[in-house]
Structure 1
Amino acid sequence: MLLSVVVPAHRVQGYLRAALESVTQQPEPEGGPAGLELVAVGASRDAPELAIARECAGRDSRVRLLTLDGPWDTGAARNAGAATARGTYLLFLDGDDLLLPGALAEITARLSEDRPDVLRLGHDQVDWWGTAQPDDELPAARNQLYRRAFWDARRLRFTEGPYDDVVPVHRAALLASDAGTLASLDRICVRHRLRRTGTSATTPGRAHFAVIDAYERLTAETGGDPRIPALRAAHLTAVLHDPGRIAPGDRAAFFRAAGLPGRYAAHRTREAVRAGRTRARAVARAGRKSLRARAMRALYRADLHRPLDPCLAVYAAYWNRGVACNPAAVHAKARELVPHIRGVWVVSSRHRDRMPPGMPYVIEGSRAYWRAMATATYLVNNSSFPGGFTKRPGQIYLQTHHGTPLKTMGLDQLPYPALTGGVSFERVVAHTDQWDFSLSANPHSTEVWDRAYPSSYEQLPYGYPRNDVLCTATQEQTDKIRAELGIAPGSTVLLYAPTHRDYRRGFVPRLDLERLGRELGPGWVLLVRAHYFYGRSAGTAAAGRVVDVTGHPAVEELFLAADALITDYSSLMFDYACLDRPIITYAPDWDAYRASRGTYIDLLSGRPGDTPGAVATTQDELLGVLVSGAWRSPEADALRGAFRSRFCPYDDGHAAERVVRRVFPVPPVRVPGHP
Structure 2
Amino acid sequence: MPRFTLVVPAYKVQGYLGACLDSVLAQDFDDFEIVAVDDCSPDDSGAILDRYAAQDSRVRVLHLPENVGLGRARNAGLREARGDYVLFLDSDDTLAPGSLSAVAARLADTHDPDVLVYDYARTYWDGRVVRNQLAHMLQQAEPTSFSLDQRPELLDLLQIVWNKAYRRDFVEEHGFEFPPGYYEDAPWTFCTLITARRIAVLDRVCVYYRQRRQGGNILRTRSRKHFDVFDQYERVFRYLDEHPELDRWRPPLFRKMADHYITVLDRPDRLPQDSRAEFVRRASADYRLRKPAGFVRPGGPRGRKYHLLDLGAHPALAGAKVVSRARTALRRSGRRQVQLTKRRLMGTHYRTQLRLPLDENLAVFSAYWSRSYACNPAAIDAELARLAPHIRRVWVVRPEERHRIPSGVETVRLGSHEYWTAMARAGYLVNNVNFADAVVKREGSVHIQTHHGTPLKSMGLDQRDYPGSAHGMDFKKLLERCDRWDYSLSSNRHSTAVWERVYPCSYTTLETGYPRNDVLLNATAEDVLAARRELGIADGTTALLYTPTHREYESAFVPRLDLARFAGQLGPDTTLLVRGHYFYDSSPELAALRAGGRIVDVSSHPVVEKLYLAADALVTDYSSAMFDYANLDRPIVIYAPDWEIYRTVRGTYFDLLNEPPGAVAADQDELAEVLTSGAWKDEASAKLRAEFRRRFCDFDDGRAAERLVRSIFLSEDLADLPPVVPLSERCPAPTPEQAAASVGAV
TM-score (norm 1): 0.89
> Matched residues in 2 for 1:514 and 1:578: separation?
30
Provide closer, same or farther for how the CA distance between residues 184 and 106 of structure 1 changes in structure 2, counting only shifts above 3 A: same
1:317 and 1:325 in contact (8 A); partners too: yes
> Matched residues in 1 for 2:266 and 2:641: separation?
53
Task: Name the counterpart of 1:627.
Answer: 676
Q: 1:278 aligns with which of 319, 324, 332?
A: 332
Task: Name the counterpart of 1:217.
Answer: 235
Spell out, residue by residue over 1:220-251, the C-alpha distance to the aligned partner (whole angstroms, 9 max, x if none).
Answer: 31343154345445555554444553456656
The 5 Å alignment of 1:458-477 reads 458-477=508-527
Task: Name the counterpart of 1:14.
Answer: 15
1:314 and 1:378 in contact (8 A); partners too: yes
1:162 and 1:207 in contact (8 A); partners too: yes
Are residue 657 (structure 1) and residue 702 (structure 2) matched?
Answer: no
> Matched residues in 2 for 1:666 and 1:115: separation?
59
1:5 and 1:37 in contact (8 A); partners too: yes
> Matched residues in 1 for 2:180 and 2:54: separation?
31
Task: Name the counterpart of 1:124.
Answer: 121
> Matched residues in 2 for 1:667 and 1:102: separation?
51
- TM-superposed CA distance for 1:58, in Å, is 2.2
- TM-superposed CA distance for 1:628, in Å, is 3.3
The 5 Å alignment of 1:559-638 reads 559-604=612-657, 606=658, 610-638=659-687
- Matched residue of 1:133: which SS? strand
1:529 and 1:538 in contact (8 A); partners too: no
Provide closer, same or farther for how the CA distance between residues 282 and 555 of structure 1 changes in structure 2, counting only shifts above 3 A: same
> Matched residues in 2 for 1:49 and 1:268: separation?
39
1:537 and 1:551 in contact (8 A); partners too: no
The 5 Å alignment of 1:634-653 reads 634-653=683-702
Provide closer, same or farther for how the CA distance between residues 158 and 54 of structure 1 changes in structure 2, counting only shifts above 3 A: same
The 5 Å alignment of 1:234-313 reads 235-236=260-261, 238-247=263-272, 257=283, 261-263=303-305, 271=325, 275=329, 278=332, 282=336, 285=339, 289=343, 293-295=345-347, 298-313=348-363
Task: Name the counterpart of 2:172.
Answer: 152
Which runs of 5 or more structure 2 residues have no equivalent in the other structure?
134-156, 241-245, 288-301, 306-316, 718-746
Provide closer, same or farther for how the CA distance between residues 213 and 641 of structure 1 changes in structure 2, counting only shifts above 3 A: same
- TM-superposed CA distance for 1:435, in Å, is 1.9
Matched to 1:190, the amino acid is: V
- Matched residue of 2:496: which SS? helix
Greater CA deviation, 405-414 or 229-238?
229-238
Greater CA deviation, 245-254 or 56-65?
245-254
- TM-superposed CA distance for 1:542, in Å, is 5.3
Spell out, residue by residue over 1:611-650, the C-alpha distance to the aligned partner (whole angstroms, 9 max, x if none).
Answer: 2122222223323332333322322211111111111121
Spell out, residue by residue over 1:150-178, the C-alpha distance to the aligned partner (whole angstroms, 9 max, x if none).
Answer: 111121111111211212222222333xx
Task: Name the counterpart of 2:209.
Answer: 192
Are residue 450 (structure 1) and residue 500 (structure 2) matched?
Answer: yes
Task: Name the counterpart of 2:74.
Answer: 78
Provide closer, same or farther for how the CA distance between residues 523 and 472 of structure 1 changes in structure 2, counting only shifts above 3 A: same
1:495 and 1:558 in contact (8 A); partners too: yes
> Matched residues in 2 for 1:212 and 1:186: separation?
33
- Matched residue of 1:312: which SS? strand
Task: Name the counterpart of 1:205.
Answer: 223
- TM-superposed CA distance for 1:261, in Å, is 4.1
1:364 and 1:386 in contact (8 A); partners too: no
> Matched residues in 1 for 2:337 and 2:481: separation?
21
- TM-superposed CA distance for 1:330, in Å, is 0.8
- TM-superposed CA distance for 1:340, in Å, is 1.8
Task: Name the counterpart of 1:91.
Answer: 87
> Matched residues in 1 for 2:601 and 2:428: separation?
37
> Matched residues in 2 for 1:171 and 1:307: separation?
55
Matched to 1:471, the amino acid is: L
Matched to 1:182, the amino acid is: I
> Matched residues in 2 for 1:246 and 1:121: separation?
32
1:38 and 1:62 in contact (8 A); partners too: yes
Provide closer, same or farther for how the CA distance between residues 269 and 479 of structure 1 changes in structure 2, counting only shifts above 3 A: closer
> Matched residues in 2 for 1:70 and 1:289: separation?
50
1:542 and 1:548 in contact (8 A); partners too: no
Are residue 133 (structure 1) and residue 123 (structure 2) matched?
Answer: no
Q: 2:560 aligns with which of 506, 510, 513?
A: 510
Provide closer, same or farther for how the CA distance between residues 633 and 3 of structure 1 changes in structure 2, counting only shifts above 3 A: farther
Greater CA deviation, 434-443 or 41-50?
41-50
Provide closer, same or farther for how the CA distance between residues 5 and 448 of structure 1 changes in structure 2, counting only shifts above 3 A: same
Spell out, residue by residue over 1:322-380, the C-alpha distance to the aligned partner (whole angstroms, 9 max, x if none).
Answer: 21000111111111111122211110112111111222100011001111112222221
Please provide the CA RMSD for this pair: 2.7
Greater CA deviation, 622-631 or 351-360?
622-631
Provide closer, same or farther for how the CA distance between residues 241 and 199 of structure 1 changes in structure 2, counting only shifts above 3 A: farther
2:39 and 2:69 in contact (8 A); partners too: no
The 5 Å alignment of 1:403-422 reads 403-422=453-472
> Matched residues in 2 for 1:250 and 1:129: separation?
34
1:365 and 1:387 in contact (8 A); partners too: no
Task: Name the counterpart of 2:529.
Answer: 479
Provide closer, same or farther for how the CA distance between residues 667 and 148 of structure 1 changes in structure 2, counting only shifts above 3 A: closer
> Matched residues in 2 for 1:326 and 1:601: separation?
25
Provide closer, same or farther for how the CA distance between residues 373 and 59 of structure 1 changes in structure 2, counting only shifts above 3 A: same
1:138 and 1:235 in contact (8 A); partners too: no
Task: Name the counterpart of 1:378.
Answer: 428
Larger Rg: 2
Task: Name the counterpart of 1:671.
Answer: none
> Matched residues in 1 for 2:101 and 2:24: separation?
12
Matched to 2:117, the amino acid is: R
- Matched residue of 2:343: which SS? coil
- TM-superposed CA distance for 1:145, in Å, is 0.9
- TM-superposed CA distance for 1:5, in Å, is 1.1
Task: Name the counterpart of 2:575.
Answer: 525
Provide closer, same or farther for how the CA distance between residues 19 and 614 of structure 1 changes in structure 2, counting only shifts above 3 A: same
> Matched residues in 1 for 2:56 and 2:175: separation?
31
Matched to 2:430, the amino acid is: V
- Matched residue of 2:181: which SS? coil
Spell out, residue by residue over 1:296-333, the C-alpha distance to the aligned partner (whole angstroms, 9 max, x if none).
Answer: xx111212233333332111101101210001111111
1:378 and 1:396 in contact (8 A); partners too: yes
- TM-superposed CA distance for 1:417, in Å, is 4.0
Task: Name the counterpart of 2:162.
Answer: 142
Matched to 1:582, the amino acid is: P
The sequence identity of aligned pairs, in percent, is 48
> Matched residues in 2 for 1:404 and 1:414: separation?
19
Spell out, residue by residue over 1:554-590, the C-alpha distance to the aligned partner (whole angstroms, 9 max, x if none).
Answer: 1111111222212121111110100111222222222
1:338 and 1:666 in contact (8 A); partners too: no
> Matched residues in 1 for 2:566 and 2:43: separation?
46
> Matched residues in 2 for 1:443 and 1:279: separation?
36
> Matched residues in 2 for 1:486 and 1:538: separation?
22
- TM-superposed CA distance for 1:77, in Å, is 0.7
Provide closer, same or farther for how the CA distance between residues 543 and 475 of structure 1 changes in structure 2, counting only shifts above 3 A: farther
TM-score (norm 2): 0.81
Matched to 1:61, the amino acid is: S
Q: For this pair of structures, how many residues does the alignment match?
A: 648
Spell out, residue by residue over 1:434-485, the C-alpha distance to the aligned partner (whole angstroms, 9 max, x if none).
Answer: 2222111111111122222223322111111111111122233222222222
Greater CA deviation, 248-257 or 103-112?
248-257
Greater CA deviation, 644-653 or 265-274?
265-274
Provide closer, same or farther for how the CA distance between residues 547 and 247 of structure 1 changes in structure 2, counting only shifts above 3 A: same
Are residue 437 (structure 1) and residue 487 (structure 2) matched?
Answer: yes
- Matched residue of 2:564: which SS? helix
